[in-house]
Amino acid sequence: MSFMIPENISIETFRGCNARCIMCPVEQWAPPYGPMKDEVFSCLVRQMSEFKDKLKSVALFGNGEPLLDKKLEKRIVECKQAGIANVGFTSNGSLLTETRAAGIIEALPDWIVISFDSLDKEAYENIRIRLKFEQVLAGINNLIAARNRRKAKTHISLRFIEQEKNKGQFEGYVSFWAPKLDADLDELHYGKEHNWASGPEAFYGNTPCGFVFHKSYVLRDGSVVLCCTDSNAEYNFGNVMETPLLEIMNKPRWQAIRQLHASGKRSSMKLCSACNIPELNNEGVLSMKMTPSGTVFSSDTLTPFDNEQAKSGAKQPFTILHQP
């Protein structure tokens, strides 16, 4: 297989979360928790800067809520000063006070995804356990206001993961948020719940997973693991403090895994066999991204996040979401 350079890198800048969302395996994340050490983060930034022209996005979050990291703003700036483009993070939005939202925007991240699944307080708080509906709603408004005030170009994406407790609510969600978002910058993001590679079935399919071809996942201590579902490093390919990331991504063991996926044998790997992410993605229901006006511009989550590239792609009418 050819030399792999990750186009998208996810970095666990903080391990641990203030929420206990019902669809998240948060209780299974093994300690230690807390922020990534500065030397690990800076080591990664140095390494990424060497292939920054090939990088399409860097996500400053992993198994945790990135706003629990008091240094998140500083880390965004560090990436940007190293010339790394398309830097952002996904958050539950609960810690976005006016001051924090302004500070985050001042660091000029390229994108921020907020996971917010319902406009119904009861449904929301039954999904996002420990979070307070009003606080998160205010946080999102603080973020939008701070971005608009600063005239920053930060893309804000609001993510709705459909599950039993919020079924059928997405239409109202779009109507509520669309007028509050920036038509050119922002996104609404719809997805169906996936099983975090711990599904009840032993087999979901052999669709090759885009994650192994495009992405790198780096845990808090610098370990490089298989993907977002590998929270406890079942597959640990090495540590960036000892071996450069590109060398790790091209180790024979990684190459063999990519070969397995490419040849339709993903299910021979235990973790991948119990995972429904590639099949949901194939059906186009894992991640649909749309403009505030409702134009779907991307429904593939396994290729790197690239807002501009995605928006120039094939467009489909929003109504596909409402088909049974």
88 binds ligand SF4 (CB under 6 A): no
48 binds ligand SF4 (CB under 6 A): no
Closest CB 257 distance from ligand SF4, rounded Å: 8
277 binds ligand SF4 (CB under 6 A): yes
- For residues 242 to 271, the per-residue mask of contacts with ligand SF4, x marking binding by CB under 6 A and - elsewhere, is ------------------------x----x
- Write down how long the chain is: 324
Closest CB 268 distance from ligand SF4, rounded Å: 11
DSSP readout, 245-259?
A: HHHHHTSHHHHHHHH
H-only helix segments in 111-244: 121-127, 133-150, 170-177, 210-214
Closest CB 113 distance from ligand SF4, rounded Å: 18
209 binds ligand SF4 (CB under 6 A): yes
212 binds ligand SF4 (CB under 6 A): yes
Place of tokens 């420990």: 130
- For residues 284 to 323, the per-residue mask of contacts with ligand SF4, x marking binding by CB under 6 A and - elsewhere, is ----------------------------------------
229 binds ligand SF4 (CB under 6 A): yes
Binding piece for ligand SF4, criterion CB under 6 A, among 69-77, 169-177, 209-217, 281-289: 209-217
226, 248, 280, 288: which one contacts ligand SF4 (CB under 6 A)? 226
Closest CB 207 distance from ligand SF4, rounded Å: 8
Number of residues that bind ligand SF4 (CB under 6 A): 13
Which one, 13 or 229, has the nearer CB to ligand SF4? 229
- Edge-to-edge, what's the strand order for the sheet holding 223-225? 236-239, 223-225, 215-218, 8-11, 57-59, 87-91, 111-115, 155-162, 187-192, 288-290, 296-298
Place of tokens 């307070």: 132
Nearest-angstrom CA–CA distance, 134 and 162: 20
Binding piece for ligand SF4, criterion CB under 6 A, among 16-24, 47-55, 108-116, 208-216: 208-216
| Separation of first and last alpha carbons in the chain | 40
Of 160, 166, 163, 164, the C-alpha closest to 188 is 160
Residues 66/13, Cβ–Cβ less than 8 Å: yes
67 binds ligand SF4 (CB under 6 A): no
Query: Within positions 100 to 159, which residues make up the interface with ligand SF4, using CB under 6 A?
Result: none
227, 240, 260, 280: which one contacts ligand SF4 (CB under 6 A)? 227
Closest CB 190 distance from ligand SF4, rounded Å: 19
Compute the C-alpha angle 105/108/112, nearest 5°. 70
- CA separation (Å) from 120 to 11, 123, 159, 172, 312? 32, 5, 15, 10, 34
Listed in sequence order, the residues at least 6 apart from 223 whose beta carbon sits closer than 8 Å to its beta carbon are: 233, 236, 237, 238, 239
6, 62, 278, 304: which one contacts ligand SF4 (CB under 6 A)? 278
Which residues of the shown chain bind ligand SF4 in the complex (CB under 6 A)? 197, 209, 211-212, 226-227, 229, 266, 271-272, 275, 277-278
